[in-house]
Amino acid sequence: MSDEVSLRDVTEADLETFYEQQLDPEAADLANFPSRDRETFMNHWTTRVLGDPANLLRAVSVDGATAGNIVAWWEEDRRFIGYWFGRAWWGRGIGTAALALFLAEERTRPLYADPFEGNAGSVRLLEKTGFRRDGVITHGGKTHLLFVLDPPIGN
């Protein structure tokens, strides 16, 4: 297997894969994001994620298989990114390659991310792709690190 990473538009068929991936208890713990039941998950994706034209969302494909997704959205005056990868794809450089491709498309800067402080893999991924730590925020009573990707110097 070559681990050829690419991004593509999200299809309706991807939602089932994304749903199954978010059911993984270890992934949910690392993200500090509880798994959702099917109806809640599908409603969120069809109305809030796919239904908002301001969002940029991509399925991450590895050798033709759906490995996860990356999404950018507005939260008040800040543009955030989030991602989710199935456990089978962890630790292989898939996230780094996929996020680098995504950042070539998503040109908004500054760009923010807020991983759970206990998610070392996500922290490393952001640092490897040029994000810097910019403080902490709290979600659900747990500390998340705030990362920012600044505009290039001179812009």
**pLDDT tens-digit readout, 2-41:** 789 999 999 999 999 999 999 999 999 999 999 999 999 9
In a domain, 29, yes or no: yes
In a domain, 102, yes or no: yes
In a domain, 145, yes or no: yes
Per-residue tokens: 107:
């040109």
In a domain, 47, yes or no: yes
Instruction: Tally the domains of the chain.
Output: 1
In a domain, 30, yes or no: yes
In a domain, 154, yes or no: no
Domain harbouring 60, CATH code: 3.40.630.30
C-alpha 101/C-alpha 79 separation (Å) is 17
Phi, psi of 96 (to 5 degrees): -65, -45
In a domain, 50, yes or no: yes
In which domain, by residue range, is 97 found? 5-149
Assign 66 a pLDDT band (cuts: 50, 70, 90). Answer: very high
Quickly count: other Cβ atoms within 10 Å of residue 115's Cβ: 23
In a domain, 28, yes or no: yes
Mean pLDDT (the chain, rounded): 95
Reference 95, options 134, 58, 143; nearest CA is 58
Amino acid (1-letter code) at residue 34: P
The string of pLDDT tens digits covering residues 90-138 is 999 999 999 999 999 999 999 999 999 999 999 999 999 999 999 999 9
Per-residue tokens: 99:
């996020």
